[in-house]
Each structure stands twice: as C-alpha cells, then as structure tokens.
Amino acid sequence: MKRMFVALGLVALASARLSAELKYTMHMEMKKGEPAAAQGTNPMLAMMGDAIMKQLVPEGAADIVYLIGDKGARIEFMQAAMGQAAGTVNLARPDGTLIVMNPKEKTYWKTSSEATLAGMQTAGVPTPEVIAKRTGQFETVAGVKCEVVTFDWKVALPIPDAARASLPPDFPTTLNMTGDSCTTTDQYQKYAEIAAKSASSVMAAMGFDKIAQGGLVLRQTMHMMGYEMRSSATQIGEETAPETAFEIPADYKEVPKPGASK
C-alpha cells in the first residue's frame, strides 16, 4: 500500500514554461461510514480498512499544500497523510524523479515514477477496473467551476495462489471504492495538463487518470471499506513562488529510500 501512497503523492510535473505557479490547499477528512452503509461489512475487510485508513489520514483530518509550476511540483504535508509524516515535503521533477524531504532531520531520498510502477508490478498489483462518468453537473469549489464525475474503482488483491487455498471462504479478494469528484474544466487547464504528465504511467496503472478526466480534482468523496474520505480545495490561485521552492536545501543529506535493500 505504501507504493500506492507514493503514487498518490506524484501529482504534477512541468514541461512548458509558465509565468507563475498554481498554489492550492486540499483539506482531507476521514470518518467511519454511516451505520447503514457499514452494516454487513466483511470483518476481515474492516480490519484492512482500519489499517489502511490509519495510513491515509491518521489524525482524521489533514491539509496538503500543492505548488505546481514549470520546475515541477511541491507537495507539503501539514499533517500526516497518505503514508507521509507531518512536515514531509515532496518535490516532483519534470524527469519523473520524486524527492521526499524530511525538514525535521534535514534528509531526503529519491525514487521515480518508473521505480514506483515497477515495484507495484513486482508486488503483483493488478490493473484496477475503473468506470468513470461525467455527469454534466457543475459545482463551484474555492471559486473555481468544476464538473462532477462519478466513479467505481475495483482492484483484485495480490494474494499468491499458494495462499488462497488456506484462506477463509469469506476472505476478501478485491478492494472496492466508489465516489465522485469535481474536476476543473477550463480554468487552470495548463496546470491540469502538467498534472496529467505527472507519473502518467503510475496514474494510468491505478486508474486515477480516468477519475481526473483531464482536469484538476478540486473535490472528492470516496467510500471504501466502511469509511468515507472527503477532500476539497480550500483556496487556490496563481502566484510567483520563491526560486528555492523546488530545490533541495544545501544542508540536507541524502539517505537510502526506506525499505531499500543495502
């Protein structure tokens, strides 16, 4: 699942010069589903859900600040979220490199969209089945018009064949997610195009490109394993970022990627 979180963090890379950067904040909240929705949930799936959701939004709520420009993208986690500790800063470079910085310890490590995709394939994560549909309904989020897109997302769990025979009959074999998002249509389209180029192979492998529908996701509601996760942009706008915003500080030390073999 950590590879999936890294994939979620690979948000935007740049290929064309822009006169400014786009900065926006996404607020995320996680909560248990309504009793009626949670009834009948497979106990094993509920346990998996608890474990995964504790990684996604450990404190129940979090804010993530995105800065997208011609040098790539900067993603700052104000609280722990998506498998990242509070304060973590990700830099997504145009060449596919992802730099994960720990300001507290002044360290960083590197990976890439290709390495993330290869890791997912090695782990046996299959291509999800995704059905996404534009509704023709529009909303305004943080002052920006967006279109509502509904989606159903399903992926088979990578359970080794040798282990399947020993599993209980009711053991879950798929992970299902339903929900809707609101994606930009015209405004900030140049940034949406940058986002589409960000780890495009990983996004396509996980089906997230179909959910985004070529725009920036400004609001999203997901239902999965008895939980509901809502995310929404609270502020968005163009501004000129400091030159150092997309650089690794000179006093930071590179360290091995967590879990990498020595």
Contact in structure between 175 and 49 (CB atoms under 8 Å) = no
Region 116-143 average pLDDT: 86
Contact in structure between 141 and 218 (CB atoms under 8 Å) = yes
pLDDT classification of 126: cutoffs 50, 70, 90: confident
Task: Output the pLDDT for position 61.
Answer: 94
pLDDT classification of 80: cutoffs 50, 70, 90: very high
Task: Output the pLDDT for position 56.
Answer: 82
- The answer as to whether 259 is a domain residue is no
Q: Rounded to whole angstroms, how far apart are CA atoms 56 and 90?
A: 16
Region 127-152 average pLDDT: 94
- The answer as to whether 173 is a domain residue is yes
Closest CA to 87 of 111, 73, 106: 106
- The answer as to whether 197 is a domain residue is yes
- The answer as to whether 225 is a domain residue is yes
Task: Output the pLDDT for position 42.
Answer: 61
Task: Output the pLDDT for position 11.
Answer: 37
What pLDDT, in 10s, does the model give residues 13-69? 333 334 589 999 999 999 887 544 444 456 666 676 677 777 788 899 999 999 988
Burial of 190 (0-12, 13-18, 19+ CB in 10 A): middle
Contact in structure between 60 and 79 (CB atoms under 8 Å) = no
Closest CA to 18 of 220, 193, 248: 193
Contact in structure between 25 and 64 (CB atoms under 8 Å) = yes
pTM for the complete prediction? Answer: 0.80
Lowest-pLDDT choice from 4-8, 30-34, 92-96: 4-8
Read off the DSSP letter of residue 84. Answer: B
- The answer as to whether 219 is a domain residue is yes
Lowest-pLDDT choice from 22-26, 113-117, 118-122, 193-197: 193-197
Contact in structure between 159 and 125 (CB atoms under 8 Å) = no
Residues near 186 by beta carbon (within 8 Å), at least 6 away in sequence: 145
Residues linked to residue 142 through DSSP beta bridges, in sequence order:
none
Task: Output the pLDDT for position 38.
Answer: 44
Task: Output the pLDDT for position 35.
Answer: 46
Please tell me which residue, 187 or 219, carries the higher pLDDT value. 219
What pLDDT, in 10s, does the model give residues 53-78? 777 888 999 999 999 888 888 999 99
Q: Identify the domain containing residue 89 by its residue range.
A: 2-254
Task: Output the pLDDT for position 89.
Answer: 96
- The answer as to whether 262 is a domain residue is no
Is residue 195's pLDDT more than 90?
no
Total count of domains within the chain? 1
- The answer as to whether 260 is a domain residue is no
- The answer as to whether 212 is a domain residue is yes
Residues near 252 by beta carbon (within 8 Å), at least 6 away in sequence: 101, 106, 107, 108
Is residue 107's pLDDT more than 70?
yes
